[in-house]
Amino acid sequence: MKIMNYTIFAISLLFILSACDKGPPIPEEKFIKAYVDLLIIQDTSVTNPVSIDSIRTIVLYKNDLTSQQYDETINYYNQRPEKWEVFFDSVTAYVERLRKTEN
Strand, coil or helix: 103: coil
Mean pLDDT, residues 76-81: 95
Per residue in 81-95, pLDDT (tens digit) is 999 999 999 999 999
Per residue in 11-44, pLDDT (tens digit) is 554 454 445 668 899 999 999 999 999 988 887 7
Higher confidence at residue 74 or residue 12?
A: 74
d(CA 42, CA 76): 23
Q: What is the structure's pLDDT at 27?
A: 94
- Residue 2: C-alpha distances to residues 5, 28, 82 (Å): 5, 44, 42
